[in-house]
Amino acid sequence: MTEQKRKRVVILGGGFGGVYTALYLEKLLRKHDDFEILLINKENYFVFQPMLAEVVSGSVGILDTVSPIRRMLPRTDLHVREVESIDIKNSTITTTPGFRPHSHVIHYDHLVLALGNVTDFRGLRGLPEHAIPFKNLGDALYLRNHLIHVLEEAAVEQDSPELRRQLLTFVVAGGGFSGVEVVAELNDFVRGVIKNYPQLDPTDVRVVLLHAQARILPELDEKLALYAQKILARRGVEIRLNTKLAAATGDEAILADGTRISTKSLISTVASSPNPLIDALDLPKERGRLKADSSLLVMGTDNVWALGDCALVPMTDGGICPPTAQFAIRQASTAAHNIVSTFRGGERKSFQFKELGKLAVLGHRSAVAQVFGVNVSGFLAWFLWRTIYLMKLPGWGRRLKVAASWTFDLFLPAELVQLKLGDSMGVSHEHFEPGQEVFHQGDLGDRIYIIARGQAEVARQESGREIVLAKLGAGEYFGEMALLNQTTRNATVRCVEALDLLSIHKREFSVLAANLPSMRDSFEQVMKQRRIATASVLAEAAH
Amino acid sequence: MTEQKRKRVVILGGGFGGVYTALYLEKLLRKHDDFEILLINKENYFVFQPMLAEVVSGSVGILDTVSPIRRMLPRTDLHVREVESIDIKNSTITTTPGFRPHSHVIHYDHLVLALGNVTDFRGLRGLPEHAIPFKNLGDALYLRNHLIHVLEEAAVEQDSPELRRQLLTFVVAGGGFSGVEVVAELNDFVRGVIKNYPQLDPTDVRVVLLHAQARILPELDEKLALYAQKILARRGVEIRLNTKLAAATGDEAILADGTRISTKSLISTVASSPNPLIDALDLPKERGRLKADSSLLVMGTDNVWALGDCALVPMTDGGICPPTAQFAIRQASTAAHNIVSTFRGGERKSFQFKELGKLAVLGHRSAVAQVFGVNVSGFLAWFLWRTIYLMKLPGWGRRLKVAASWTFDLFLPAELVQLKLGDSMGVSHEHFEPGQEVFHQGDLGDRIYIIARGQAEVARQESGREIVLAKLGAGEYFGEMALLNQTTRNATVRCVEALDLLSIHKREFSVLAANLPSMRDSFEQVMKQRRIATASVLAEAAH
């Protein structure tokens, strides 16, 4: 059995760290295969992260920023699966089942952990329910569609100028690289396409960037950051420095100083956490990142390697590698070399690399950059950015397509197609702050709500006075009248103590109620009791 | 109030019929606006339907086949909304609410109905649950992703050759234009990209086209149809003539003669019904289509016009217009002229048009066509097809992009990125046929099932014998052990009488159970009872 003699390197994660490790390993792989490479990633593509923000404005095509991993890595086995658990003691990985309902358990000789980190809004009031993350391709597509969706809605809402202004307000939290690039592309896009909406007034558009520190882009020189601020401000972005986002609801962004910005579009690029898989490992960590030595081996192990954003890798100058693509790629080269040295008995290398530069693009034809210590800004930096990234894109096909997209973008108007991504979930979580209305008497009702936490009051407007009908707490529900077709709300429900709600669309609710007799029965019972209770409160109030 | 004097033409539907009516109306609109145009469509784009199948193989970009309606119709007001109801008596349209929970009621002076028809699998056993429709852009994207998904899964499934062959079998039902174009593009795509999956054997790929009649493409000359059959067969498509699809499950396509084809990919282009909105109208209809006169006015009305697939329009030769884009476009021109004539007191025109030709593309570099009565096939037909469609695409930008995509497609490999469209719904409907297993003892369990219709038996393998533990019917559920983390099924559940199930993923189920105390309680009670019942059955069987 030659199969068993071959060593297996398993790589977890298909970002820069994981994919480039496989790429370098493939280069070192000999004809007679002394080892095999298996990469596990939940998507079948690699995302060229630095260009993700351009998907928002449509200046590159939807698929231009991603490459199929199979094409990049012809000699690597790819499993498009979620990793369920990592067992360091037994050197195995378990992945989720696919069509066949059995787990896959995969043995490794060497394990490369390149799982990056994940968006994590937990603990931030209302953000898990209402903030839009910006990390992967799915997020970028979602945001792009959301922007078109609010524009379309604003165009229809002729009756309510407040709603129209709310729909045309966009808030981005976080003034690092990612936040700045998103706000720049978003701003360009919205201000560009609004001319296709003759019903809308371009001066109603408001784009706000929130940043907790005294200047944006802390990664760059102050001069460049100030230049970036000037450019963004000139293009209409309102920058709020020393300002933190405190909470969010479905209707507003709430700042730490209590200011409320009415918006349906809050994007946060701030919150990220270690991948839960890394979290679950019993290996030495610091601030959630795996402690690796300069050879990229995780401390205390002899076959587990870590790199990229999930690893803490020392630099030769005593510092720690920043979590950027440039570093991940160079770390991948070192890790691949060292893994092969372990097989073949060669010397291990220590990771060392001096950063070449940093770039942030500020939307159409402007950028800021620091290259070999020199500051560059404006059109030159933008041109540099495009050239460098184009050359770094994997594969000539991709480069050609991106070059074509960029060329078209110079003279064709921005893409305006709202690509609806699947059905919107019928069950969702919502957060409300005290004083806010969940719904108003007279509104159309199509969802029922279950209180997970907090308190609400139910009030009815009756011959000019408001009568509080009930207070509701955790485990109770409201809005059940929506189950009857085409009715308007017969009362207003208002948040008293911060509310976390589970809301279910009547479509899904009726499927559940039809199939779960116990659920239907208990709802019918409570509805009956309520009708009686309401009648008695109103009768009393009438006296 | 000049506002009130202007007449309003409301167009429902953004397909060829609706968009071209607006386009022709815009041409007739005068500077001093004697009428206004409002188009209502649930998407903000127009789909160039004849090119939709190319999205599957990726030979055009995802957005290349669609155009934003706003760009095409700068003087038309667009509402991106679903139509809720049409009130002919009061001349109003009600649309669904957006962010503001209130219905929009829109008054019209003239109404143009161009709502086409819809995919409708009702009444076809197992099709609503398991067949993939092919009608709009969402369907095309879904299919494309599904194809990549089954290829990825097949690549991981090293242990089960049957499952791998099932995953690599693709069945298309319906040999009309749409079915033939889908099967051709699907076949090209799968056989093209499989070389990127070194684990897979290309000879395992099976592509089947089912057609109820003696030859495919009934719309075309027999000679051309036979040519198309030859080309498809040569490329590996297995054509089954005189064969009807009888039913579907999640695991197979069941033919009328009882043959079962094991597949996870069943595409049906056959079933379509009138739009439910047209269905609900109290206007003269035939076979679900609105009866219009030769001026496109719906019989018995003087301000309701109908065209395209939802209308029955007489031709001058006594026949009836076929439901094609060519006819819809010419009908739109007649309808626009006649509406304006009604306002301005001119003559009405009668619709007349002689079809120019018919085209069906057979995948890469081959097609069949009938142009001005002449038959063309092979590369020439394909070249003709591309040229004609390119010229018919709305807007120069779109044409340029498509031309670029086609050029890249000549020398670049097919796109292989699996774009996941939103989270898969946690609640779904499933259909099983007698004898089929819902799950097998020892499988991993992550869903619970509720029986809507049919009967199932629960059986356990115990010391070499199978013991039937229970029979379950409508309203009962099973699989509740999945609620506990990481367990395998402790029994097999098998369909006895055709089963319609509602299945809920444990993720969604636990959210519901956590928030709905009554639901949790009733489940816990039944679980307890079952444990006792099972123990007693097993104890008896042990004697």
pLDDT, tens digit (0-9, with 9 covering 90-100), for B7-62: 999 999 999 999 999 999 999 998 777 899 999 999 999 998 888 898 888 777 77
Residue B417 with chain A: CB contacts under 8 Å = 44-45, 63, 66-68
Look at residue B515 in the predicted model and tell me its pLDDT: 72
Query: Is pLDDT above 50 for B1?
Result: no
Residue A81 with chain B: CB contacts under 8 Å = 156
Q: Rounded distance, CA A287 to CA B69, Å?
A: 50
Q: Which of B45, B74, B401 sits opposite A408 (nearest CB)?
A: B401
Q: Rounded distance, CA A406 to CA A305, Å?
A: 38
Helix (H, G, I), strand (E, B) or coil at B190: helix
Distance of CA B462 to the CA centre of its chain: 45
Query: Is pLDDT above 60 for B77?
Result: yes
Give counts: helices (H), strands (E), chain B.
15, 32
Q: Rounded distance, CA B451 to CA B455, Å?
A: 8
Percent of chain B, pLDDT > 70? 95
Residue B397 with chain A: CB contacts under 8 Å = 408, 412-413
Residue A408 with chain B: CB contacts under 8 Å = 397, 400-401, 404
Q: What DSSP assignment string belongs to A169-186?
A: EEEEE--SHHHHHHHHHH
Q: Rounded distance, CA A70 to CA A43, Å?
A: 11
Cβ pair A499, A456 in contact under 8 A: yes
Using a CB–CB cutoff of 8 Å, tell me whether B107 touches chain A: no
User: At a CB cut-off of 8 Å and minimum separation 6, what does B330 contact?
Assistant: B351, B353
Determine the residue among B417, B438, B500, B520 to mutate to test chain A binding: the one whose Cβ has the most chain A Cβ atoms within 10 Å: B417
- Interval B173-228: pLDDT, tens: 999 999 999 999 999 999 999 999 999 999 999 999 999 999 999 989 999 999 99
Look at residue B49 in the predicted model and tell me its pLDDT: 87
Look at residue B246 in the predicted model and tell me its pLDDT: 94
Residue of A nearest to B95 (CA): A156
Which of the 8 DSSP states describes residue B320? B
Residue A509 with chain B: CB contacts under 8 Å = none
Which of the 8 DSSP states describes residue B298? B
Using a CB–CB cutoff of 8 Å, tell me whether B480 touches chain A: no
Look at residue B317 in the predicted model and tell me its pLDDT: 84
Q: How many residues can be counted in chain A? A: 543
Q: Please give the C-alpha separations between residue B154 and each of A109, B146, B186, in angstroms, as whole numbers.
A: 25, 12, 17
How would residue B424 be classed by pLDDT, with cut points 50, 70 and 90? low
Look at residue A486 in the predicted model and tell me its pLDDT: 60
Q: Rounded distance, CA A448 to CA A479, Å?
A: 5
Q: Which of residues 421-460 of B touch A (CB under 8 A)?
A: 421-427, 439-440, 443-446, 450, 452
Cross-chain residue pair A512–B511, CB shorter than 8 Å: no
Tally the C-alpha atoms within 13 A of residue A17's C-alpha that lie toward its C-beta.
Answer: 28
Using a CB–CB cutoff of 8 Å, tell me whether A352 touches chain B: no
Q: Which long-range contacts (CB under 8 A, 24 or more apart) does A398-404 make?
A: A398/A64, A398/A67, A400/B408, A400/B412, A401/A61, A401/A64, A401/B408, A401/B412, A402/A51, A402/A60, A402/A61, A402/A64, A404/B404, A404/B408
Q: What stretch of H or E contains B10? A: strand B7-12
Cross-chain residue pair A44–B152, CB shorter than 8 Å: yes
Look at residue B261 in the predicted model and tell me its pLDDT: 97
Rounded to 10 degrees, the C-alpha dihedral B135/B137/B138/B144 comes to 90
Determine the residue among B44, B67, B157 to mutate to test chain A binding: the one whose Cβ has the most chain A Cβ atoms within 10 Å: B44
Give counts: helices (H), strands (E), chain A.
15, 32
What is the amino acid identity at position B121?
F
Q: What stretch of H or E contains A279? A: helix A276-279
Residue B130 with chain A: CB contacts under 8 Å = none
Q: What angle do CA A481, A483, A489 make, to 5 degrees?
A: 30
Using a CB–CB cutoff of 8 Å, tell me whether A401 touches chain B: yes
- Interval B313-339: pLDDT, tens: 998 888 899 888 999 999 999 999 999
Q: Which is more confident, B417 or B476?
A: B476
Q: What are phi and psi of A498, to 5 degrees?
A: -35, 125
Residue of B nearest to A441 (CA): B101
Quote the radius of gyration of chain A (alpha carbons, Å).
27
Cross-chain residue pair A418–B45, CB shorter than 8 Å: yes
Q: What stretch of H or E contains A517? A: helix A517-542
Which of the 8 DSSP states describes residue B460? E
Helix (H, G, I), strand (E, B) or coil at A214: coil
Residue A148 with chain B: CB contacts under 8 Å = 44
Cross-chain residue pair A70–B416, CB shorter than 8 Å: yes
Beta strands in B256-356 (DSSP E): 260-262, 265-268, 272-274, 285-286, 289-291, 304-306, 311-312
Q: What stretch of H or E contains B492? A: strand B492-505
Using a CB–CB cutoff of 8 Å, tell me whether B481 touches chain A: no
Q: Rounded distance, CA A57 to CA A228, Å?
A: 19
Residue B78 with chain A: CB contacts under 8 Å = 152, 155
Using a CB–CB cutoff of 8 Å, tell me whether B316 touches chain A: no
Q: Rounded distance, CA B424 to CA A424, Å?
A: 10
Cross-chain residue pair B400–A416, CB shorter than 8 Å: no
Helix (H, G, I), strand (E, B) or coil at B360: strand
Residue of A nearest to B45 (CA): A417
Cross-chain residue pair B74–A156, CB shorter than 8 Å: no
Look at residue A155 in the predicted model and tell me its pLDDT: 94
Per residue, the 3-state secondary structure of B130-158, as one string, reads HCEECCCHHHHHHHHHHHHHHHHHHHHCC
User: At a CB cut-off of 8 Å and minimum separation 6, what does B414 contact?
Assistant: B57, B58, B59, B189, B192, B193
In this structure, the strands spanning A169-173 and A272-274 are unpaired
Q: How far is A371 from chain B (nearest CA, A)?
A: 33
A and B: number of Cβ contacts within 8 A = 211
User: At a CB cut-off of 8 Å and minimum separation 6, what does A399 contact?
Assistant: A390, A391, A393
Helix (H, G, I), strand (E, B) or coil at A433: coil
Residue of A nearest to B522 (CA): A518
Other Cβ atoms closer than 10 A to A123: 9
Question: What is the mean pLDDT of the segment spanning B495-508?
Answer: 88
Using a CB–CB cutoff of 8 Å, tell me whether B257 touches chain A: no
| pTM as predicted | 0.89
Look at residue B421 in the predicted model and tell me its pLDDT: 59
- Tokens 């981005």 appear where? A172
Predicted-complex ipTM score: 0.87
Cross-chain residue pair B97–A444, CB shorter than 8 Å: yes
Cβ pair A34, A7 in contact under 8 A: yes
Using a CB–CB cutoff of 8 Å, tell me whether B410 touches chain A: no
Rounded to 10 degrees, the C-alpha dihedral A60/A63/A65/A68 comes to -160
Cβ pair B362, B232 in contact under 8 A: yes
Residue A421 with chain B: CB contacts under 8 Å = 421-422
Look at residue B464 in the predicted model and tell me its pLDDT: 86
Q: Which of residues 21-80 of B touch A (CB under 8 A)?
A: 43-45, 61-63, 66-68, 70-71, 74, 77-80
Using a CB–CB cutoff of 8 Å, tell me whether B487 touches chain A: no
Q: Rounded distance, CA B452 to CA A516, Å?
A: 10
Residue A477 has which token pair?
A: 């529900």
Residue A301 has which token pair?
A: 């192990």
Cβ pair B337, B349 in contact under 8 A: yes
Q: What stretch of H or E contains B227? A: helix B222-234
Percent of chain B, pLDDT > 90? 56
Cross-chain residue pair A421–B421, CB shorter than 8 Å: yes
- Indicate if the alpha-carbon torsion angle A37, A43, A45, A48 is positive or negative: negative
Q: Which of B130, B141, B138, B203 is nearest to B173 (CA)?
A: B130
Cβ pair A151, A190 in contact under 8 A: yes
Look at residue A123 in the predicted model and tell me its pLDDT: 85
Q: Rounded distance, CA B408 to CA A63, Å?
A: 14
- Mean pLDDT computed over every residue of chain B: 89
Distance of CA A457 to the CA centre of its chain: 34
Q: Rounded distance, CA B18 to CA B42, Å?
A: 12
**Residue A87, beta-bridge partner list:** A92
Stretches where chain A sits below pLDDT 50 are 1-3
Q: Which of A423, A415, A481 is nearest to A448 (CA)?
A: A481
In this structure, the strands spanning A206-210 and A447-462 are unpaired
- Interval B382-408: pLDDT, tens: 888 888 888 888 777 778 778 887 777
Q: How many residues can be counted in chain B? A: 543
Tally the C-alpha atoms within 13 A of residue B143's C-alpha that lie toward its C-beta.
Answer: 33
Q: Which of B135, B246, B117 is nearest to B181 (CA)?
A: B135
Q: Is B484 exposed, middle or buried (0-12, 13-18, 19+ CB in 10 A)?
A: exposed
Look at residue A515 in the predicted model and tell me its pLDDT: 72
Using a CB–CB cutoff of 8 Å, tell me whether A197 touches chain B: yes
Q: What is the separation, in whole angstroms, between the first and last Cα of chain B?
A: 92
